[in-house]
Amino acid sequence: MRAPFEQDKPIYVQIREKIEDQIINDQLKEGDQAPSTNQLVNFYKINHATVTKGVNQLVEEEILYKKRGIGMFVTLGAKDKLIQKRKATFVDDYVRKLVREADKLGITESEVVDYIKHVKGRDKE
């Protein structure tokens, strides 16, 4: 069963992120052929233009490249580029907010680190 798409995010963005995740998780390696837009349309049962928009963003960001008449492939260095992009997003989306909230509550840096270690330890169980 396919996971449903999130309601709060455009589907083309979610398609792009699914491909990015496959690259980051080594399901798609640099130089590998990526799924075609037709394969993605058939798999997810969504509009061709939606898939094309997400895939084209990856081409514009030089994560994928097209070989005319053959398909799309993962660019060399794509995984590293995606990891760096995701790290920057992580800092902006989570760390900055965490630090601001910790400051409001008077939580010290060492307390924040202790909380993180506690949560990470609990997640491993």
The CATH code for residues 11-76 is 1.10.10.10
Q: Read off the amino acid at residue 119.
A: V
Q: What is the pLDDT of residues 32-62, one digit of tens each?
A: 999 999 999 999 999 999 999 999 999 999 9
Task: Say how far apart CA 106 and CA 29 lie, in whole Å.
Answer: 45
Q: Which residue has the tokens 């898939």?
A: 51
The domains of the chain are located at 11-76, 79-124
What is this structure's pTM? 0.81
Q: What is the pLDDT of residues 45-104, one digit of tens each?
A: 999 999 999 999 999 999 999 999 999 999 999 999 999 999 999 999 999 999 999 999
Per-residue confidence (pLDDT) for residue 1, from 0 to 100: 39
Task: Say how far apart CA 61 and CA 30 lie, in whole Å.
Answer: 15
